[in-house]
């Protein structure tokens, strides 16, 4: 099928946004309640959340999930948010309440970490009508019981073994929706997609890295201006 061309419009001030690698668009995507997602940006930085071209924000962080954080993220994001709501220490009723809070604030799905107990997944599944995503960090993670408890999508984050884990899951579960970290290069992202990932989470440069690039650009412009004078 011939690839269609489409017009592109960028405003003067917004054209410095963070772009996800174009190779991610080769993924099939996952249809969640009528909207297709291929590229998830993994960040909780408000400035990055407002300036990117991803399909959704993967708002997962290494602290106890808190309503204030989720409210801040959803209040500024112009694209759908996937919210982290449970895992190690945060379990049971608190996780279920966070899940309901996330749904009420328009989140398209919630994420639970690998250690989340089956009982907690069941509680979450009882109170929300949006998908539950389980993060898998190892090929040794048992997911059968978690799928039965209410998990809808798997998110693979296995560092250097991510594509291997994805391939094993795809062989065992041909129709299971799988999100996965793509790694630092287009080659590693493509490898993960070819292993069977339907969508990719992309970690953008930090605010500091982006600022460093901009400062270098400013310095060059100052140098050129000085030489012209």
H or E element in which residue 136 lies? strand 132-136
Across residues 212-229, what is the average pLDDT?
71
Which positions ≥6 away from 150 have C-beta within 8 Å? 121, 122, 124, 125, 132
On the question of pLDDT at 108 being above 60, the answer is yes
User: Per-residue confidence at 136, pLDDT binned at 50, 70, 90?
Assistant: very high
Tokens of 201: 């989470």
CATH topology of domain 22-228: TIM Barrel (3.20.20)
Tokens of 189: 């992202």
**pTM for the whole thing?**
0.90
On the question of pLDDT at 44 being above 80, the answer is yes
For the chain, how far is it from start to end, CA to CA, in angstroms?
54
What pLDDT is stored for residue 169 in this prediction? 96
What pLDDT is stored for residue 223 in this prediction? 65
Q: What is the pLDDT of residues 156-211, one digit of tens each?
A: 999 989 999 999 999 999 999 999 999 889 999 999 999 999 999 999 988 788 77
What pLDDT is stored for residue 2 in this prediction? 60
């Amino acid at each position: 099928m011939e690839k269609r061309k489409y017009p592109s419009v960028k405003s003067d001030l917004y054209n410095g946004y963070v772009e996800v690698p174009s190779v991610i668009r080769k993924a099939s995507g996952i249809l969640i309640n009528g909207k297709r997602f291929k590229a998830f940006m993994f960040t909780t930085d408000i400035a990055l959340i407002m300036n990117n071209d991803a399909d959704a924000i993967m708002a997962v962080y290494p602290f106890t999930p808190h309503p204030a954080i989720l409210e801040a993220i959803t209040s500024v994001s112009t694209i759908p948010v996937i919210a982290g709501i449970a895992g190690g220490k945060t379990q049971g009723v608190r996780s279920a309440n966070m899940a309901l809070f996330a749904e009420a604030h328009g989140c398209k799905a919630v994420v639970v970490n690998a250690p989340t107990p089956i009982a907690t997944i069941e509680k979450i599944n009882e109170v929300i009508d949006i998908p539950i995503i389980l993060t898998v960090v190892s090929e040794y993670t048992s997911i059968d019981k978690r799928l039965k408890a209410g998990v809808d999508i798997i998110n693979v984050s296995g560092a250097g073994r991510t594509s291997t884990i994805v391939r094993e899951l795809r062989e065992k579960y041909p129709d299971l929706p799988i999100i996965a970290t793509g790694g630092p290069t287009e080659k590693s992202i493509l490898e993960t997609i070819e292993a069977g990932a339907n969508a990719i989470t992309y970690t953008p440069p930090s605010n500091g890295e982006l600022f460093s690039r901009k400062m270098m650009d400013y310095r060059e412009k100052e140098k050129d201006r000085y030489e012209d004078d």
